[in-house]
Amino acid sequence: MQDIPFFKDLSKEDIGRLEVISIVKNYKKGEFLFIEGEEPKWLNILLKGTIKIYKTTPKGKEVFLHTIRPVSLVAELVNFEDIPYPASGIFLSDSEVLKLNYSKFKTEFLSNPKICFELLKSMASKLRIINNVLQNELTLKSDAKVAKFIVENSDLFSSLKHNQIASILNITPETLSRTITNFKQSDLIKFDENMNLTYKNHNKLIEFFTI
């Protein structure tokens, strides 16, 4: 518990109190942490694995928002605002989550300025993520989206199918396949026999989404 950045300055007594109101739960790839519209009961901290956050349109289309990696708070705004989850969270890999009883956490710990400061930093990070999502959708072409995803999430190519990655990027599987082929032919990336992706020209990939 004390290794988690949010709680690193707490006393042993406070850590003990946190342990009383928390559980650690393991999830399998493909399981949901929460579904859009559910009421929040826990303050969730991702310890291991990856979570995809997405919304579903009225027509049933999935709109990718972002991925969350450890160690991170997950959708903490719903706890602070006491609102239903505005999106869904699904695990992209086997994962581990620390779940804190939020009502007890609020009563016993939110008066601690150090914890509040860490929570504010986490929320500021989420605002940057949302700004990044909007920028991607409004300004980046499909090849730039793929290049950015490769730079930031190259490990997911070995655990996700291409149609899943295409869904995350809000492009067609055909567009993703064509872009990956172009990147390989341009000697920017390569795959090994286990579909692990590695860069061959990291700087050139970055140029796609920073120019």
Tell me: the pLDDT tens digits for 95-109?
A: 999 999 999 999 888
160 SS3 class: coil
∠ Cα 114 118 119 (to 5°): 115
Tell me: the pLDDT tens digits for 41-90?
A: 999 999 999 999 998 888 888 888 888 989 999 998 899 889 999 999 99
Tell me: the pLDDT tens digits for 153-202?
A: 888 888 788 888 888 888 899 999 999 999 999 999 998 877 788 888 88
The pLDDT value recorded for residue 194 is 75
Closest CA to 40 of 81, 68, 92: 81
Confidence of residue 135 (pLDDT cuts 50, 70, 90): low
Q: Please report, for residues 143, 145, 152, 159, the alpha-carbon distance to residue 30 in angstroms, rounded to integers and kept in the order given.
A: 27, 24, 21, 11
Q: pLDDT: is 49 or 211 the higher one?
A: 49
pTM for this prediction: 0.68
Mean pLDDT comparison of 25-29, 105-109, 118-122, highest-scoring range: 25-29
